[in-house]
Chain A
Amino acid sequence: MDKPIELPDRLAEKGVSRRDFMKFCGFMAAVLGLPASFAPKIAHAVAKKRPTVVWIHLAECTGCLESFIRTTYPWAADIILDTIDLAYCETVMAAAGDQAEQVLEGVVEKQKGQYICIAEGAIPTKDNGAYGKIAGKTFVEIAKHVCGNAAATICVGTCSSYGGVQAAKPNPTEAKPVSEVIGKPTVNIPGCPPNADNMVATIVHYLLLGKLPALDSKGRPLFAYGYLIHDNCPRRGHFENESFVKEFGDEGAAKGYCLYKVGCRGPETYNNCSIIKWNQGVNWPIGAGHPCIGCSEPKFWDEMAPFYVGKG
């Protein structure tokens, strides 16, 4: 190809009109908390040559990638095929073994300092990292090499951000967050898993402004983690009125009362679940009568547990 095909043409080929595309950009601007006037800029940023992204799976459960593919507008296929060049991702890629590793190595060599690395999972460090390997290389080696040479590393999920479930006490494999192993700060999109909307919004922010979104002291994008679950909870009124579920299955549960007394960690958890909810707004934990477990907070498996015991 002499010149790259412009995005609107690419979209037109599959029947997406410019109007649909602008609608999507408007949606992304809304998720990012940007004024609507940013929408045209998003369109411009997305239309350039697709930036290379590698997604590495470390000590994890793949729940973050699964969450990512639950995105709509943009749909996962649109992101993967039209927006970014997802060069390496074990869970979706066709290539196997040596051929897969060649692709990864090619990106690190030829696009040093230019690609984005998305890291899912923590890094076992005990016994020089022998508890986690791909193609004979430890996760420690892989992270230092792949994240170390990236333009930026975005940690998706509580595991890569803070260590997650395998780092819970007594942390048998001495699992650590990515930033600690590579010795560089990372953007952290915690959650077990994070909401697809927050992952996608962060990526688009990078594409739009050429820089990472504003972060809090824990490396989290403020647009998503600048809120306490509790502050925007639809059951907040019941909290104020002291109408609580005292035991699962009681009258309060049937009436949708506040779950604070049965363990809800909404008052100490920073995330936007109570605003954007889950799976296209179908539901979310408190909506289903289940307490928030604080899954986007560091060390939540230790500090928020036991989960069904109220702190109040």
Chain B
Amino acid sequence: MARVVVDPIPRIEGHLRIEVEIEGGKVKDAWSSGTLFRGLEIILQGRDPRDAHLLTQRSCGVCTLVHSLASVRAVENALKIEIPPNARIIRNLTHAAQNAHDHPVHFYQLCALDWVDVVSALKADPKKTSDLSGNVSGRPQTKKYYEALKGKLKAFVDSGQLGPFANAYWGHPAYKLPPEANLMAVGHYLDNLRQQVLAAQMTAIWGAKNPHLQGHLPGGVTVVEQINADRIAEYLYMLREQIKFIEEVYIPDLLAVASFYKDWTKIGGNKNFLSYGDFPQGPKEPDDFYFPRGMIVGGKLELVKVDPTKITEDVTRAWYEGDKPLYPGVGETKPLSGEKLKGAVPDTTSKDGKYSWLKAPRYDGMPMEVGPLAQCLTSYVGGNKEIKETVDGVLKKLQVGPEALFSTLGRIAARGIKCLVNTKQAEKWCMDLIENVKKGDMKTFTSYKLDESTNGEGYGLNDVARGSLGHWINIEKGKIKNYQQVVPSTWNLGPTDGKGQKGPVENALIGTPVADPKKPLEILRTVHSFDPCIACAVHVIDPHTNEVYKFRVS
């Protein structure tokens, strides 16, 4: 039996350590550790509630604006503010643009190198690569193009300065793509590095800048006069360009790569999924969400209703004090320090040994996977027509059944499906905005009172690029008394709980084949399929207080 530690896990946001025990060429047990703690919730206490969306946004520069969205919704929920339709649409459009940016970046820049062997691309025949691109890609390239690309790659490798491609697992037996597919993918890896600049510009049209937008505010959005024909057209035409990229490049590549790795439809799956739902089409949440709120339990394809009061967090194996799972609003949590922390050295071997800065969120005591796969599954059974059609189309194309979705590959495919549906839907929302402007409705902000007499409790539950994101706020005398974030990567990458139940990533890793424990490429595949974002995940706590905060969630 071999113990393997992969630290750092590269090509994710944040600092993640994965430890696995390997027996008979397969993962027998796994431990996921977040190795950074920043303490943003403590910093939020006593501040102006309107500032929270700016501060929480700094949880993550990759997810960036989604924390702003969750935060303004939490404040609006607490203060009973209903935002104008234009503000709702602008937020949806900016959020959709964020997803249109985020998912292709995940596919190409963060996870592709687990499946694409860059060095193998040097053996590609440019003519055959051109033929391949003509067969599978919506953007076929000429033989000449691939000759130049291969030449560029060769010059790069020959320079001896391999930069970010140095010392990786090239040549590993688990790489299955032919050289030509690898060369095509390398081309698209570089293309998306450019394309993502455009997608980010879309978020800046009404969000001011990317990363870290400055355009939301509890009560609505700050743009007014820039909701004009010029700006709407700018968004719309950029959006159409991004849709084309997703349809012509991202989805075909996803299908092409998947067709060589169908064995990964049987590896890395979970059974429980939670989705908060998102993209409000009207003022009522969650009823008006485009992607519905719901759960899949035990792998059964039926929609189970979500009761947010059943969410708890467990700290048995995390570096915090506390002995029972608690509702996130009841923040009785203290990080270990000094003697008790003992330098935060992960202890995965002793019973109840602590090994992570992430807590373990549970729904009704169960670990739940969140993310695009959860969104697709709940939307599939929850009556979202576009998701159902796209999922069915992809399954048919790959000649696999719905059970294939419960896997590492299913997770990667679901991200592409959700990205496509979400981005195309944004075009419709753009038209809604045009109709409003035509009617002369320019209202983007609802004013409200916030002073020393203001008290309130609320939450904002979103479904964002990486999954279900919740912010809880308690406002007292016009200031933040308590603030809690329970984020997607905490759900997915949190540790084992007090009952010994593994977190979703840990569970998904068990059974994963590992050909060479010194080069655990297969582990990266499953971990990356969750699109981990650890900076968000490690400050979901309120370490300096013993106070019990009560939240009522109805």
Interfacial residues, chain A to chain B (CB-CB below 8 A): 1, 4-5, 10, 13-15, 49-50, 52, 57, 59-67, 69-72, 75-77, 80-81, 84-87, 89-97, 99-103, 124, 126-128, 130-136, 164-166, 168-173, 175, 192-193, 247-249, 253-256, 278-280, 282-285, 287-290, 293, 295, 301, 305-309
State which of B151-159, B248-256, B377-385, B464-472 sits at the interface with chain A. Answer: B151-159
Complex A-B: 23 CB contacts under 8 Å: A70-B210, A84-B163, A90-B8, A90-B15, A91-B13, A92-B109, A93-B11, A94-B11, A95-B166, A96-B10, A100-B8, A132-B36, A133-B36, A164-B58, A248-B219, A248-B445, A249-B444, A279-B197, A284-B208, A288-B207, A288-B208, A289-B223, A306-B47
Cβ distance A195 to chain B, nearest Cβ, rounded Å? 8
Query: Which of B42, B161, B209 has the most chain A CB atoms closer than 10 A to its own CB?
Result: B209
Q: Which B1-49 residues sit within 8 Å CB-CB of chain A?
A: 5-15, 17, 35-40, 42-43, 47-48
Of the candidates A64, A133, A170, A283, the one whose C-beta lies within 8 Å of that of B15 is: A133
> Does B124 lie at the interface of the complex (its beta carbon under 8 Å from any beta carbon of A)?
no
Beta-carbon contact of B208 and A81 below 8 Å:
no
The distance in angstroms between the C-alpha atoms of A293 and B37, with both chains bound, is: 25
Beta-carbon contact of A134 and B35 below 8 Å:
yes
Cβ distance A254 to chain B, nearest Cβ, rounded Å? 5
The distance in angstroms between the C-alpha atoms of A60 and B193, with both chains bound, is: 22
Specify which chain A residues have a CB less than 8 angstroms from the CB of B206 in the assembled complex. Answer: 283, 288
Beta-carbon contact of A1 and B159 below 8 Å:
yes
Return the 4 tightest CB-CB contacts between A and B, nearest first. Answer: A63-B61, A249-B445, A94-B168, A172-B39
Beta-carbon contact of B210 and A279 below 8 Å:
yes
Beta-carbon contact of B445 and A5 below 8 Å:
no
The distance in angstroms between the C-alpha atoms of A124 and B341, with both chains bound, is: 14
Task: From known contacts A13-B155, A94-B165, A253-B445, infer whether A66 and B148 are also in contact, taking CB-CB under 8 Å.
Answer: no
Beta-carbon contact of B35 and A66 below 8 Å:
no
> Does B224 lie at the interface of the complex (its beta carbon under 8 Å from any beta carbon of A)?
yes
Task: From known contacts A93-B164, A127-B338, A308-B51, infer whether A173 and B212 are also in contact, taking CB-CB under 8 Å.
Answer: no
Of the candidates A76, A278, A308, the one whose C-beta lies within 8 Å of that of B48 is: A308
Beta-carbon contact of B61 and A131 below 8 Å:
no
Nearest residue (CB) in B for A126 is B337
Specify which chain B residues have a CB less than 8 angstroms from the CB of A93 in the assembled complex. Answer: 10-11, 164-166, 168
Specify which chain B residues have a CB less than 8 angstroms from the CB of A75 in the assembled complex. Answer: 193-194, 197
Beta-carbon contact of B7 and A135 below 8 Å:
yes
The distance in angstroms between the C-alpha atoms of A76 and B535, with both chains bound, is: 23
Of the candidates B51, B151, B223, B225, the one whose C-beta lies within 8 Å of that of A305 is: B51
> Does B220 lie at the interface of the complex (its beta carbon under 8 Å from any beta carbon of A)?
yes
Q: Which B160-181 residues sit within 8 Å CB-CB of chain A?
A: 160-161, 163-169
Interfacial residues, chain B to chain A (CB-CB below 8 A): 5-15, 17, 35-40, 42-43, 47-48, 50-51, 54-55, 58-62, 64, 109, 113, 118, 148-149, 151-152, 155-156, 158-161, 163-169, 190, 193-194, 196-197, 200-201, 204-212, 214-215, 217, 219-220, 222-226, 234, 337-338, 341, 343-345, 357, 442-447, 519-520, 524, 535, 543-544
Beta-carbon contact of A4 and B204 below 8 Å:
no
Specify which chain B residues have a CB less than 8 angstroms from the CB of A301 in the assembled complex. Answer: 43, 55
Cβ distance A267 to chain B, nearest Cβ, rounded Å? 17
Beta-carbon contact of B343 and A130 below 8 Å:
yes
Cβ distance B537 to chain A, nearest Cβ, rounded Å? 12
Specify which chain B residues have a CB less than 8 angstroms from the CB of A280 in the assembled complex. Answer: 197, 201
The distance in angstroms between the C-alpha atoms of A309 and B48, with both chains bound, is: 10
Beta-carbon contact of A166 and B447 below 8 Å:
no
Cβ distance B513 to chain A, nearest Cβ, rounded Å? 17
Beta-carbon contact of A94 and B217 below 8 Å:
no
Beta-carbon contact of A102 and B48 below 8 Å:
no
Of the candidates B64, B155, B211, B217, the one whose C-beta lies within 8 Å of that of A10 is: B155
Of the candidates A91, A103, A131, the one whose C-beta lies within 8 Å of that of B11 is: A91
The distance in angstroms between the C-alpha atoms of A288 and B223, with both chains bound, is: 5
The distance in angstroms between the C-alpha atoms of A65 and B64, with both chains bound, is: 12
The distance in angstroms between the C-alpha atoms of A90 and B524, with both chains bound, is: 13
Specify which chain B residues have a CB less than 8 angstroms from the CB of A81 in the assembled complex. Answer: 152, 156, 163
Specify which chain B residues have a CB less than 8 angstroms from the CB of A4 in the assembled complex. Answer: 159
Of the candidates A86, A130, A249, the one whose C-beta lies within 8 Å of that of B163 is: A86
